[in-house]
Amino acid sequence: MIRGTKSGVYPKIYVIMNVNGIDDGLN
């Protein structure tokens, strides 16, 4: 679920974005 360096910057926000599928185009 968590991937890329963004997960190390703000893991909680990134996880939420990932769950919502918003991060699909960010990495």
The residue segments making up the domain with residue 10 are 1-27
Q: Number of folded domains in the chain?
A: 1
Q: What is the pLDDT of residue 14?
A: 66
The rounded distance, in Å, linking the Cα atoms of 19 and 8 is 16
How is residue 17 written in tokens? 């974005």
CA atoms within 13 A on the CB side of 24: 4
Does pLDDT of 2 surpass 60? no
Residue 17 has pLDDT above 60, yes or no: yes
Asked if the model's pLDDT at residue 24 lies above 60, the reply is no
